[in-house]
């Protein structure tokens, strides 16, 4: 709801239109009007989030990598891929990558442009997989992004080529996200 509508619904002093009275009655039947009166901070759940841009620290906290056992060969390859991904996110955070920003990375990984007010039911994560293609892939139903690993017959491409693959993946908007 817009901030103006939230104010009309929850501020019972203001005269309001019939549709707002009906909305207020519906929310009151659920106990939400009383909840907002007793805990005013709850009103933030009804207002649109301000465009609070992601920071690199926030995004690395939200997208938890799922690493293999420490010391394994696979873990070394995962570290190499993840290090390049962090470098890419630094470039995106600084604005050096055209249309890609940290929000577009998060949006592809989770299907949403912002962290839900009550958090995620399933923690967003980064998984590592062996693939011939180095495009990041996602499963937004479970908030999982897959990053490709190098393996014997398919080494990581040069950084510029890898970053171009990342650019294309994170600029995708045909999922109805934009």
pLDDT tens for residues 119-155? Answer: 888 999 999 999 888 889 999 889 999 999 988 788 8
pLDDT number for residue 178: 40
* Among candidate residues 34, 38, 33, 35, the one with its CA nearest the CA of residue 20: 33
The DSSP annotation for 29-80 comes to: HTTHHHHHHH-GGGGGGTSPPP-----HHHHHHHSEE----TT-HHHHHHHH
Q: What pTM was computed for the model?
A: 0.72
pLDDT number for residue 50: 57
The domains located in the chain, with CATH, are 3-45 (no CATH), 56-170 (3.30.2410.10)
The average pLDDT across 88-101 equals 90
């Amino acid at each position: 709801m817009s901030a103006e509508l939230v104010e009309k619904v929850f501020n019972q002093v203001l005269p309001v239109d019939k549709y707002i009275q009906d909305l207020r009655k519906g929310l009151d039947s659920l106990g939400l009007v009383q909840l907002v009166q007793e805990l005013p901070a709850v009103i933030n759940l009804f207002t649109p989030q301000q465009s609070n841009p992601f920071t690199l620290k926030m995004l690395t906290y939200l997208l938890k990598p799922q690493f293999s056992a420490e010391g394994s060969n696979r873990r070394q390859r995962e570290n190499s891929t993840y290090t390049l991904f962090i470098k890419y996110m630094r470039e995106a955070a600084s604005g050096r990558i055209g249309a890609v920003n940290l929000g577009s990375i998060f949006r592809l990984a989770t299907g949403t442009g912002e962290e839900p007010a009550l958090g995620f039911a399933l923690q967003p994560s980064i998984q590592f997989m062996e693939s011939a293609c180095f495009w990041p892939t996602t499963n937004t139903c479970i908030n999982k992004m897959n990053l490709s690993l190098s393996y014997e017959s398919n080494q990581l491409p040069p950084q510029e080529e890898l970053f171009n693959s990342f650019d294309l993946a994170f600029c995708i908007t045909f999922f109805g996200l934009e």
